[in-house]
Amino acid sequence: MGFLLAANGLLVLYIAINLFKLYYGDDWEGLFEAITGYGLGGSSMALFGRVGGGIYTKAADVGADLVGKVERNIPEDDPRNPAVIADNVGDNVGDIAGMGSDLFGSYAESSCAALVVASISSFGVNHEFTAMLYPLLISSVGILVCLLTTLFATDFFEVKAVKEIEPALKKQLVISTVLMTIGIALVSWIALPSTFTIFNFGIQKEVQRWQLFLCVGVGLWAGLIIGFVTEYYTSNAYSPVQDVADSCRTGAATNIIFGLALGYKSVIIPIFAIAISIFVSFSFAAMYGIAVAALGMLSTIATGLAIDAYGPISDNAGGIAEMAGMSHRIRERTDALDAAGNTTAAIGKGFAIGSAALVSLALFGAFVSRAGISTVDVLTPKVFIGLLVGAMLPYWFSAMTMKSVGSAALKMVEEVRRQFNTIPGLMEGTAKPDYANCVKISTDASIKEMIPPGALVMLTPLIVGILFGVETLSGVLAGSLVSGVQIAISASNTGGAWDNAKKYIEAGASEHAKTLGPKGSDPHKAAVIGDTVGDPLKDTSGPSLNILIKLMAVESLVFAPFFATHGGLLFKMF
């Protein structure tokens, strides 16, 4: 899946550039402005995958857990549970299709942002074509590096024990990052002129190729740091999740408190990593540096996406084993894979959020350039009100998605309860539940409930740009980026920690974990409640905020000339 997404995204973008080049010729600015539509299309589809898929999967998951595990005290993925099929289907809809479309959108948008800034820059003599396509070369080398990394994973790091699963997956990230650093150095030396000029914000900046190499490298290593920090706060092998599990001794309330505190604390290091990468890349190559830093973070997307998809695949394998009545030993193995998969999924979300921050900032720079804004001054009332409104939007968006999951889960719970109460022999296993009706509830809910948050994302740039102008819109984009990234990291890590705290108790792999279990104990029930609350946080609201900040930015970029010419109608009236 990882290689298919990376290769397809690169191939289609390269074909589109060459087709547009037949029309635009040497008009590089017009060519790459047209290519921005590629990023808009990628993010629009990600909206459906992330938001709609998140609502689908969590409605089924919450409904299945509340009635099945809490009320009826039956195991997870038990075939007697009417929502079990919808739950397993949802893993593919939200966690595989949703994550894939999200990362593809980030890849498309960061490429477009880099190409737009490059189009108004001097790369060697007469815009040398190879140097102009430097962003695509980064992604191309990334595919080769990830292919080489898979050989290490399959031939050199054979997993022989449960405790070796997570380290083996982490080694792939480290190896791909180290090899990619070498690959970027070679590409930068071969493809780029020794010195070239970046035009941005009305200024000229002389850049050397080693500086651009460092921009890509700092984004690449910032992504690895974010991944490791995410793993530390969401893996049950470390003390933060174990502390959350221990808090379940006194009930669900303390579990919720500890989980929220963990999520807030987990924001600190990723934000510093993003901030440092922004400072370094902007100092060396202005907004073009930030755009290629985002591409650097996404350059190992094939490995990152494969590791992320590992989680839902393991989860589905466990579900099939449970429904097929396979031996307890097989279920233990799939649970071990699933626990590691939860952590790798959280790492994938960390990559997605970090890259979304850099991509959004790069798109913001491209928008400011195309809109003809020389400076964005927060002391200007037009900009400041936009900043406040933009900072509020992630909260509004999160409220919509959380409520959507809650409303859909309510319908699912009622349906599952109805079937348990009205179908004779269902609890005893002598009758089959109506799986199709639960799938229908999740499908209908995901389509209907996606409309309000989708409309908020799509209409906000249009309304603000037309009525208030590009200065206010620049404030909205900056505000949504600053607050959205931090809410997304916190929500994703909180939900991941609650999930693995529950699995830590269920596995009983340590003496401490055994004192909290077994399944069905009061601490375990408290952990299940925390996991249920965290489900929409880590799989719907948190990851969906990536789409909010990216889609608003790329939509603003596409319509920037129109807003600059015809926008600000409300201010023109007074």
Beta bridge partners of 195: 208
Does residue 382 carry a pLDDT above 80? Answer: yes
Residues with Cβ within 8 Å of residue 360, at least 6 apart in sequence? 477, 481, 549, 550, 553
Q: What sign for the dihedral angle of Cα 278, 279, 281, 286? A: positive
520 CB-contact burial (10 Å; exposed 0-12 / middle 13-18 / buried 19+): exposed
The pLDDT of residue 280: 94
Q: Distance between CA 255 and CA 528 in Å, rounded?
A: 10
User: Taking a C-beta distance cutoff of 8 angstroms, is the pair 59, 445 a contact?
Assistant: yes
Span 31-62, pLDDT tens digits: 777 788 888 888 888 888 888 888 888 888 88
H or E segment to which residue 204 belongs: strand 203-208
DSSP 516-532: H-STTSHHHHHHHHHHH
Amino acid letter at 329? Answer: R
User: Taking a C-beta distance cutoff of 8 angstroms, is the pair 97, 53 a contact?
Assistant: yes
Q: Distance between CA 33 and CA 12 in Å, rounded?
A: 16
H or E segment to which residue 78 belongs: none
Q: What mean pLDDT value characterizes the chain?
A: 86
Span 320-350, pLDDT tens digits: 887 888 888 887 888 788 777 777 777 777 8
Q: Domain ranges in the chain? A: 2-573
Compute the residue count for the chain. Answer: 574
CB atoms within 10 A of CB 117: 26
Span 273-308, pLDDT tens digits: 999 999 999 899 888 888 899 899 988 888 888 888
Q: Is the peptide bond before 518 cis (omega within 30 degrees of 0)?
A: yes
The two three-digit tokens of residue 470, written as one number: 């590009």
262 pLDDT tier (thresholds 50, 70, 90): very high
Phi-psi map region of 429: left, alpha, beta (phi>0 left; psi -120 to 50 alpha): left
127 pLDDT tier (thresholds 50, 70, 90): low
Assign 3-class secondary structure to 128-145: CHHHHCHHHHHHHHHHHH
Q: Distance between CA 546 and CA 282 in Å, rounded?
A: 22
Span 418-446, pLDDT tens digits: 999 899 988 888 888 999 999 999 899 88
Residues with Cβ within 8 Å of residue 451, at least 6 apart in sequence? none
9 pLDDT tier (thresholds 50, 70, 90): confident
Beta bridge partners of 464: none
Does residue 225 carry a pLDDT above 60? Answer: yes
The two three-digit tokens of residue 356, written as one number: 């979304």
pTM of the model: 0.89
User: Taking a C-beta distance cutoff of 8 angstroms, is the pair 542, 495 a contact?
Assistant: yes
H or E segment to which residue 461 belongs: helix 451-468
Q: Determine phi and psi for 385, rounding to 5 degrees.
A: -65, -35
Name the nearest CA neighbour of 385 among 471, 453, 481.
471
Assign 3-class secondary structure to 393-408: HHHHHHHHHHHHHHHH
The pLDDT of residue 510: 84
Assign 3-class secondary structure to 35-72: HHHHHHHHHHHHHHHHHHHHHHHHHHHHHHHHHHHHHC
Name the nearest CA neighbour of 135 among 362, 351, 382.
362
